[in-house]
């Protein structure tokens, strides 16, 4: 008797799906101002209904007016299309880890609502954009004479202090990627990997995180990693120093050899300069070990730095923490960002009887809907970053007044709870962004630090503790450098209880050599 049969089975499942509008909002939030400027310029080139506010485009067009035309077009005979426009309004201030409605569910719900005679507003979920006065906001966008209301009296760093932006590591890698005959899924996963490289060229996210974040299969991400690691410069997309050096050795002479064996199995001995132990472990003459070490020393531990190093990477603050009188304010830096507005010349094509070609009318509808969504998401990005920075300002006022020694412990989760968003939203809002403060220019992530128990049970930031360790080492006698145990004892005397192993970990995090290495160098 055959056990195979055909059956129809219903399965109820719940999964997370990001709508296109939410995906755009998440992507915009994690861009810094340079990347946002590039994206806006790209949108200006691709979307004919968008234009810069300083262009002479004749009659102004209010977003409310074009939205009314889009709604009227849908009501004339295409109610199902209304789901597309309504979906663009359902934007939540949240990260991708929160459950959001699927695109299919949105379209089905919108179609059902259009068929009913009851007003749809009663069942529509609250829109976070309703908190923003888009009427007055878009009036500024549509005024040809509009300029960003920046405080011109505020003293800002001279433009001459900024370097022109060269080709970045991501640009260099994507240019190579575009020339490879890859499957679309592998290409997309490789692009996600490139987006998760730090300035040194190392992969900062796990393959599982990349797979989940980009909805890729894990095996596809693993295949894509091999592709990216085969690009120039050699060693890029490594997950640690050992893998970085091995990739470079493999690109030169393939696998095998003394240098390969040293890096693969005995890298710790190399760091501590234990050459005799290396020779003994590999059963090789000391001369062979020294030759192999010269090969290893010729490798680049930071292959991406030449594309994004301090000399090639411009740092332009995304926000300014400015003091006015006795109070601080947060000033959003939107200098040289193109100011957008909607072009009115295409409006007549949506008016009844003006454009008989359905495809042209649908294209214009889609372009206007896309432009409206972009304007909303850009403003939502600005408001989210400002809210995060205002929370930082309230919690770190002592730092702005007195400097690094007064930095308070602060977690991303605390800020997220205060402003009512998901922690991933805060994480994206501060990613790759810089702030100009009275104490200098700092990455926004710098203000977030774990707490360590200090004197009398008071919490001190982990960054402050590391600075204390570094200061002790800088002031030590070079002929008799402090051991990790001695540093731990000094901290204990100051009321901070940490172990020797913890001190060693902090020292390694700051790239400070061991006691023996510091004594040898002296």
Determine the straight-line distance between the first and last CA of the chain, rounded to whole angstroms. 84
Q: For 10-36, what is the mean pLDDT? A: 80
Partnered with residue 442 across adjacent β-strands are 435
Distance CA 22, CA 84 (A): 13
Secondary structure of 179-197 in HEC code, one letter for each residue:
CCCCCHHHHHHHHHHHHCE
Question: For residue 374, what pLDDT band results from cuts at 50, 70 and 90?
Answer: very high
- Whether 90 contacts 127, CB under 8 Å: yes
Q: How confident is the model at residue 379 (pLDDT cuts 50, 70, 90)?
A: very high
Q: Is 335 helix (H, G, I), strand (E, B) or coil?
A: coil
Q: Which long-range contacts (CB under 8 A, 24 or more apart) does 58-61 make?
A: 58/344, 58/345, 59/344, 60/142, 60/143, 60/144, 60/341, 60/344, 61/142, 61/341, 61/342, 61/343, 61/344, 61/347
pLDDT surpasses 70 at 292: yes
pLDDT in tens, 101-135: 333 343 344 444 444 444 444 444 444 444 444 44
pLDDT digits (tens, 9 = 90+) for 460-505: 777 778 888 888 988 888 888 899 899 988 888 888 888 888 888 8
- Please provide the CATH number assigned to the domain covering 451-521: 1.10.10.60
| DSSP string for 10-42 | ----------HHHHHHHHHHT--HHHHHHHHHH
Q: Does residue 240 have a cis bond before it (omega within 30 degrees)?
A: no
- The mean pLDDT value of the chain amounts to 75
Assign 308 a pLDDT band (cuts: 50, 70, 90).
low
Asked whether the predicted pLDDT for residue 172 surpasses 90, the reply is no
* pLDDT of residue 208 exceeding 50: yes
Between 433 and 252, the more confident residue is: 433
For residues 141 and 340, the answer to whether their CB atoms sit within 8 Å is yes
Angle between helices 275-282 and 286-297 (to 10 degrees): 110
Q: What's residue 224's pLDDT?
A: 92
Q: Note the pLDDT tens digit of each residue in 245-267.
A: 889 888 877 777 788 878 878 77
CB atoms within 10 A of CB 4: 4
Q: Radius of gyration over alpha carbons of the chain, in Å? A: 28
Tokens standing for 36? Answer: 């946002």
Give me the pLDDT at residue 499, please.
86
Q: Which segments of the chain belong to CATH 1.10.10.1330?
A: 169-308
Tens digit of each residue's pLDDT (9 = 90 or more) over 395-412: 999 888 888 778 888 888
What are the structure tokens assigned to 129, written together? 């954009």
**CB-based contacts of 152: which residues, under 8 Å, 6+ apart?**
none
Give me the residues paired with residue 480 across strands.
Answer: 477
Give the β-pairing of 340-342 and 50-52. antiparallel
Q: CB under 8 Å, gap of 24 or more: what pairs does 223-229 form? A: 223/186, 223/189, 224/186, 224/187, 224/189, 224/190, 224/192, 224/193, 225/190, 225/193, 227/177, 227/180, 227/182, 227/186, 227/190, 228/173, 228/177, 228/190, 228/193, 228/194
Instruction: Give the fold, CATH level 3, of 169-308.
Output: Arc Repressor Mutant, subunit A (1.10.10)
Whether pTM exceeds 0.85: no
- Greater confidence (91 vs 275) lies with 275
Residues 182-205 have pLDDT tens digits of 888 899 889 889 888 888 889 888
User: Looking at residue 228, what is its pLDDT?
Assistant: 92
- In the chain, residues under CATH classification 1.10.10.60 are 451-521
pLDDT at 16: 62
What count of residues does the chain have?
522
Residue 378 — very low, low, confident or very high, per pLDDT cuts 50/70/90? very high
């Amino acid at each position: 008797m055959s056990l195979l049969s055909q059956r129809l089975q219903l399965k109820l499942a719940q999964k997370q799906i990001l709508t296109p509008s939410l995906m755009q909002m998440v992507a915009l939030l994690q861009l810094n101002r340079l990347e946002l400027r590039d994206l806006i310029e790209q949108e200006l080139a691709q979307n004919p209904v968008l234009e810069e506010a300083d262009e002479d485009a004749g009659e102004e067009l209010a977003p409310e007016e074009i939205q009314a035309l889009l709604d009227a077009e849908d009501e004339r005979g295409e109610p199902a299309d209304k789901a597309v426009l309504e979906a663009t309004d359902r934007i939540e201030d949240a990260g991708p880890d929160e459950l959001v409605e699927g695109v299919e569910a949105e379209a089905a719900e919108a179609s059902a609502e259009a068929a009913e005679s009851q007003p749809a507003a009663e069942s529509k979920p609250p829109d976070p954009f309703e908190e923003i006065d888009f009427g007055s906001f878009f009036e500024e966008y549509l005024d040809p004479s509009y300029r960003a209301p920046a405080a011109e009296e505020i003293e800002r760093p001279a433009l001459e202090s900024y370097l022109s932006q060269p080709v970045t590591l991501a640009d260099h890698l994507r240019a190579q990627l575009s020339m490879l005959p890859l499957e679309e899924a592998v290409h997309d996963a490789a692009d996600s990997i490139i987006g998760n490289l730090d300035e040194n060229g190392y992969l900062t996210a796990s393959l599982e995180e990349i797979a989940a974040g980009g909805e890729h299969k894990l095996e596809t991400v693993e295949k894509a990693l091999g592709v990216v690691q085969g690009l120039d410069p050699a060693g890029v997309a490594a997950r640690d120093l050992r893998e970085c050096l091995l990739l470079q050795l493999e690109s030169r002479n393939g696998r095998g050899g003394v240098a390969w064996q040293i890096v693969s199995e005995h890298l710790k001995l190399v760091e501590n300069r234990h050459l005799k132990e290396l020779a003994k472990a590999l059963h090789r003459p000391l001369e062979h070990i020294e030759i192999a070490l010269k090969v290893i020393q010729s490798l680049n531990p930071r292959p991406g730095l030449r594309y994004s190093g301090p000399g090639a990477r411009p740092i332009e603050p995304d926000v300014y923490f400015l003091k006015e009188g006795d109070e601080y304010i947060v000033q959003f830096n939107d200098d040289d960002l193109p100011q957008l507005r909607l072009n009115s010349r295409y409006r007549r094509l949506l008016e009844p009887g003006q454009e008989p070609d359905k495809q042209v009318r649908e294209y214009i509808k889609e372009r206007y809907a896309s432009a409206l969504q972009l304007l909303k998401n850009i403003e939502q990005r600005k408001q989210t970053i400002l809210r995060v920075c205002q929370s930082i300002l309230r919690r770190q006022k002592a730092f702005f007044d007195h400097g690094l020694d007064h930095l308070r412990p602060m977690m991303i989760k605390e800020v997220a709870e205060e402003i009512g968003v998901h922690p991933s939203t805060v994480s994206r809002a501060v990613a790759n962004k810089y702030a100009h403060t009275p104490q200098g220019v700092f990455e926004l992530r710098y203000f977030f630090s774990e707490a360590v128990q200090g004197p009398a049970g008071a919490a001190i930031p982990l960054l402050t503790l590391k600075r204390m360790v570094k200061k002790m080492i800088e002031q030590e006698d070079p002929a008799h450098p402090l051991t990790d145990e001695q540093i731990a004892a000094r901290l204990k005397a100051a009321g901070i209880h940490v172990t020797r192993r913890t001190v060693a970990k902090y020292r390694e995090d700051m790239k400070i050599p061991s006691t023996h290495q510091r004594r040898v160098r002296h």
